[in-house]
Each structure stands twice: as C-alpha cells, then as structure tokens.
Structure 1
Amino acid sequence: MSPRNLVLAACVAATLATQAATAGELFGPGVISTGLQETSAALTPDGNTVYFMRSDFAEADDTILVSHRAAGRWSTPQVAAFSGQWHDSEPTLSPDGQRLYFVSNRPPHPDGAPVTATMNGRSFPGTNLWYVARQPNGGWGAPLHVDGALNDGAMIYNPSVAANGDIYFSAHREDSGKAYQIYVARDHGHATPERLALGDLANNRMDPAVDPLGRFLLYAGNEGDALGSADIYIVFRQPDGGWGKPEHLGGDVNSRTLENAPSLGPVFGELYVASARRDDVHFPKPRDDAAALQRRLQSPLNGSRNLWRFDISPLLRAHGITPAANAATAHPASAKKPA
C-alpha cells in the first residue's frame, strides 16, 4: 500500500473508532445511580471503591459519597468522611490513589467566610480546590486547601490529575472569555494556571479528564456539533506538546440530553460520564396508579443525571494509545511546552 493510502486508511480507522463505542451501561442502578443527581465518578486503582457526587435537581446541596464493591455488588453509599457539612463536589483521585481532590465552598482559612462566587449579577456558593491524603491506616487525613494562583478565583470545577502532578480543571477566569475554559496548573496545582489552547473562546469547555500519561484529554462542552446542551469531546496530545483539534465522541457516549463530568476508570478505555438521558414516554401510556407513578418518577431514568460507563478503547488504540505505553516517553507535558 502506498504511503498516501496508508495515511488515508489510518484516518478512516480513527474516524470509525470515534464513531464506534461500546453501548453504555448504567452504573450501579438504584444504588449509585438513582432518581437524584449523580456525577463525577472517581474509582480507586483496584476498581473496588468509588467516590461520587450526589445532589438535588437544583444542585444546591452537593455531597461526596463513597461506595465499596464486594462479591460483584456495590454497597449502599455513605457520606465520605471529609464531606457532609459544606457544598462539596467533583471528587477525583490521583492516579496512584494517594490523594483525593475535590472542590468546596468551605472557608479556605479557619474562622474565615465560605467561598462565594458572583457571575452575571448572581451570587452562589463558590469553589476552591482541596485534597485529602491517604493515611497509613487506609483512611483519609484532614482536608487541605491547595494554596496558589489556582484558587485565586471562586469558580474552579472538576479537577483531574496527571501522574506527574499536573492538575487540570475548568474555571471562569479573566482570560476565559464569556464561557468556562480548561486550565492546567503544574507542580501539584501550585504553579500559575495556563489556559489550554483548544479553540474559539466563545465555546464553553468544562470538566476535563486527563489521561494519567497526558496523551489525551476528555471534556464536556459544545464545539458547534453537540447533540445536546453539552457533549463529551476528546483531544490528543501532538508531537509539539500542544493539543489537536477536539473530536466529538460518537457511538452511544453522547445523546440529545446533557452529558458532562467525564472521568477515566482504572481499566484501559473505561470512561464514566454523567448523563441526563431518560426513558422515553409514549402516549397513551399504560394507565398509572399512584404507586406505579411514584416508582417511575423516582427511578434513575427520570431525567436526573446518572453515571454511565462506556468503553472507548477502540478509539484510543486507533490513535496509537495502548495501556502498556512507557510513562517516561509517553508523557510530553512539561512546564516548557504549550498548554
């Protein structure tokens, strides 16, 4: 095959892989995914513990929960030891499982005021970045505020941590334009944040999920071809250290409802997404009695956001990404390369 045809074949394979994705499955139906709002799955490296956020429909009351898997079943979620008093959300684990990052409106300093944000004349609970560290007994230490320019503002969301300590997050900052954009803060979040060059600042970009080796990044947004109010996109690291053109994830990952808060599981290609997809209602429907109506309206697929699991390994392999890549050569991110 000629070099030109090889290139064409590779492009076709990548396109097909982008379109093909294993059918999604509802994660922990009735236990983790319920008739409330669940987002931001963070699984431990062994895959047997998951942290996630649960809230009301208005997302005025966010709390981080934890569930454990034993004998193939997830336990009834409990409030995480470090959560339950403040507006805590969007947990994420470092790749080694030794730190759990989250955002919160809790006061950054003892006896201080809770973090408050203002946008378009409206005030609401703000967010700063915090983390808890794994203790020798297997539990978590006290929450620690990440001091530095990353927390200069009050609107930081969905942190994601690479193996080298770079922290990716979405925020509304002075250089964000009117929408939210994605940033990276190196040195475990202590360095000055750098905005990722992903395209037109008129497009909203949220909720990054970075490959531990920095080879690709997933996020929620709308690049002009979203099926719903927000879809999941992927960008791949380029040889010069920058990022390629965002690609819309096809297959079943995106729907005509809201998809956001992507996160990567411990299995290669395992993707968790929060989605508001619901069961279709057709009329005339079988006549409900009060009990049947209550069950249906409180079921996971009632239009609330739930956690869904997908497999994007075919897409990653089509782009030359494998689980056995060498971290020393596969992670091009550094402070001297483009964000």
Structure 2
Amino acid sequence: MNLRNLALAVCIAATYAASAAVPATGGELVGPGVISTGLQETSAALTPDGHTLYFMRSDFAEADDTIMASRRSGDHWSTAQVATFSGRWHDSEPTLSPDGKRLYFVSNRPPHPGDAPVVAQMGERKFAGTNLWYVERQPDGAWGPPVHIDGAFNDGAMIYNPSVAANGDIYFSAHRADSGKAYQIYVAHRRAHGYTSPQRVELGDLAHSRMDPAVDAQGRFLVYAGNEGDTLGSADIYIAFRQADGSWGKPQHLGDGVNSPALENAPSLGSAFGELYISSARRDEMHFPKPRDNTTTLQRRLQSPLNGSRNLWRFDISDVLRAHGIAPAHGPHPANAS
C-alpha cells in the first residue's frame, strides 16, 4: 500500500462507524455485482460513446491494483475483464482524453527497458511509486503499447489521478515540495514539444488536502476530492469554477446529494452533460437486532457491493453547472448508467 492509499485507509477506518449507518441514497450504484463488487472499485473512465467503462479494481489494502474494462449493452454491463495493457504491474487510475483516442493511467512499471520499477519513499518507508503512462487507440480499435511520458511531468514517483482537458493540459494530484503537508492538485500545460513543468493549481489554504482532479474538457470547472473544512466525512467531492481572469473560484462542496459521512473520492466526468462518477465507501444501513444470519446469508452480505468497500456511483450535477452559467454544448441529460 503506498502512502496515498495508506492515508485513504486511515480515512476509511476513521469514518467506518459513521458510514455503517449511512443508507445508500441518492445517485446510482454502477453495475451492482458486476462492476461494483465487494472489492475496491474506483476511477471510472467512460468512452465518449458511453459503451465502455474502464476502472480500477483492487484488494482492500490497494496493494494489488489492476485496470478493468466492461462493455454496456442496453442497461447491462458485461463481466469486467482485465484491460489488455494491464495485469502485470501496479496499474491504477485510468482516464480518457476527451476524444477517447488516448487512455492515461499511472503505474510502477519500469519507465524504459532495463530500468527498475518505480519506487517512492517517504521517510524510511518505501512503496510502489507511480509515473504517468498512456495507450493510444489503433486503427483496428485496439490499444497500442503503453508509452511513458518523459520529462518534467514524471519528475517524481507520486503522481495520481490524471485528468485531461481538450487542449491537452493534464491535471493530477501529488505530494510535491510545494504541497505543504497534504496532497495538492497540479497542471502540466501541453506545448508543441511536450509539457511544461507542473504548476500547483491555486485553490486555497495548503493545510487542506486536495486530490483526484476531474477537469471539464473545456476547462470551465474542476471537480476533486478533498477536505476544505466542511466535509461530511473524511473526504468529500468539491467543485471549483474558472473565473473570467483565468483563476479558479472558491471550491464549493457538492452537498449531501453526492457526499455522505463515508469516504468519497476519485471523481470523473461522464460522456453526457452533468454526468459525474465517484468512488464511495457508503454502505447499507444496519439495524440491530438483525434477522438472524445463517452462513449463506452472512457470506452473501459481507461480499456484497455495499459492505463498506469503495464502489462506483453515478450522479447528475447538471443543475449545479447550469446554476453557474454552464450549458451543454449539445446532447441530453446523462444516460442511464446503472
């Protein structure tokens, strides 16, 4: 488990007692039993046509992360399969470019042939590090071989949750020299020959942790996970809007429709206007005394999606966007992705 996942595990433990009494209300659980299971599922990446969903599946410790893929037929998702480019290394946090032609992810795999796997270190502790990679869609529709992004972008070993704007700018979260004690969000601007050095996105007091950015394709707003001092639990989902001068406005809490006393993180934007995916550890409400379990019912419940593991949830925040003057370029409300 790397330091970031250790921090998330602490958050989950700290909120477990509260989340045990949180009914799974609001939003839609994505693919119950198929995509969202009793394991950990995070980081949804939906193709522009809405037909294929990439996501990360892991054990509870998140020591064994793998990128999965599922296809939708009507209202049903297929059994998730290991993505063609994943399955050997500690791969996580997939995201698609707005045109769907590239899929970015982070991994500890060796940056170049002959290199050692990426290792991160905080103090005396070493753990699987992460660099940014991408795969490109080939003419036959398959993904090409993974490509490491060289240069200043990958100058560290703790890069998480990339998100790509239509102009090629890449947002991500990291713990860097100017992050303070917490994680912060950064952007590397796309240029003709690579990327600029990452710059911290100014969102306020560095005492507050900010992770997992999801940027609007046109750069009009940014959704992320963090704690701005008003969370319902340990980490909630926030949104910040681009101002006329190019700066980011004050982050706004997305409220108890999206958030809960459980841990919420890893937001991503879907293919339809206002479509938001998040990872949440919310679970079924428990009442005691409960109907007496037998071995079968106990096992079924403990292995169900709403057992306190993180699952993928889908929400519609189109009203929030419209209230801030953001309208869809085209297209309807989010399609059913449950």
| TM-score normalized by the length of structure 2 | 0.88
1:61 to 54, 64, 74: 64
1:289 aligns to what?
294
1:16 aligns to what?
none
State the alpha-carbon separation in 2 of the partners of residues 113 and 292 from structure 1: 46
2:92 aligns to what?
89
Q: Does 2:44 match 1:41?
A: yes
1:275 to 271, 275, 280: 280
Q: Which runs of structure 2 are paired with 1:63-212 in the superposition (5 Å)?
A: 63-187=66-190, 190-212=195-217
2:252 aligns to what?
247
Q: CA RMSD, aligned part only?
A: 1.1
Note the C-alpha offset of 1:313. 0.2
One-letter amino acid of the structure 2 residue matched with residue 33 of structure 1: S
Note the C-alpha offset of 1:190. 2.0
Note the C-alpha offset of 1:246. 0.4
State the alpha-carbon separation in 1 of the partners of residues 265 and 297 from structure 2: 30
Q: Does 2:312 match 1:307?
A: yes
Indicate if the aligned counterparts of 1:33 and 1:307 stay in contact, CA closer than 8 A: yes
SS where residue 291 of structure 1 aligns?
helix
1:236 aligns to what?
241
Indicate if the aligned counterparts of 1:147 and 1:190 stay in contact, CA closer than 8 A: no
State the alpha-carbon separation in 2 of the partners of residues 176 and 183 from structure 1: 10
One-letter amino acid of the structure 1 residue matched with residue 310 of structure 2: R
Note the C-alpha offset of 1:314. 0.2
State the alpha-carbon separation in 1 of the partners of residues 70 and 28 from structure 2: 18
| TM-score normalized by the length of structure 1 | 0.88
2:266 to 258, 261, 279: 261
State the alpha-carbon separation in 2 of the partners of residues 120 and 213 from structure 1: 39
Q: Deviations over 1:148-200 (max 9, x none)?
A: 11110100000000000000000111111111100000117621101011011
Indicate if the aligned counterparts of 1:146 and 1:190 stay in contact, CA closer than 8 A: no
One-letter amino acid of the structure 2 residue matched with residue 229 of structure 1: S
Q: Deviations over 1:89-139 (max 9, x none)?
A: 000000000000000000001021110111243211000000000000001
One-letter amino acid of the structure 2 residue matched with residue 294 of structure 1: Q
Runs of 4+ displaced beyond 3 Å: none
Note the C-alpha offset of 1:72. 2.3
The count of residues paired between Structure 1 and Structure 2 equals 304
* Structure 2: stretches of 5+ with no match in the other structure: 1-24, 331-338
2:218 aligns to what?
213
Note the C-alpha offset of 1:251. 3.6
One-letter amino acid of the structure 2 residue matched with residue 156 of structure 1: I
State the alpha-carbon separation in 2 of the partners of residues 79 and 115 from structure 1: 22
Q: Deviations over 1:282-323 (max 9, x none)?
A: 111100000000000000000000000000000000000011
State the alpha-carbon separation in 2 of the partners of residues 206 and 227 from structure 1: 17
The farther-off stretch of 265-274 and 275-284 is 275-284
State the alpha-carbon separation in 1 of the partners of residues 125 and 284 from structure 2: 34
1:335 aligns to what?
none
Q: Percent identity?
A: 78
1:319 aligns to what?
324
State the alpha-carbon separation in 1 of the partners of residues 265 and 203 from structure 2: 17
SS where residue 258 of structure 2 aligns?
coil
Note the C-alpha offset of 1:71. 3.0
1:29 aligns to what?
32
State the alpha-carbon separation in 2 of the partners of residues 271 and 249 from structure 1: 11
1:333 aligns to what?
none
One-letter amino acid of the structure 1 residue matched with residue 184 of structure 2: Q
Q: Deviations over 1:243-297 (max 9, x none)?
A: 0000000142100010000000001000000000001211111000000000000
One-letter amino acid of the structure 1 residue matched with residue 155 of structure 2: D
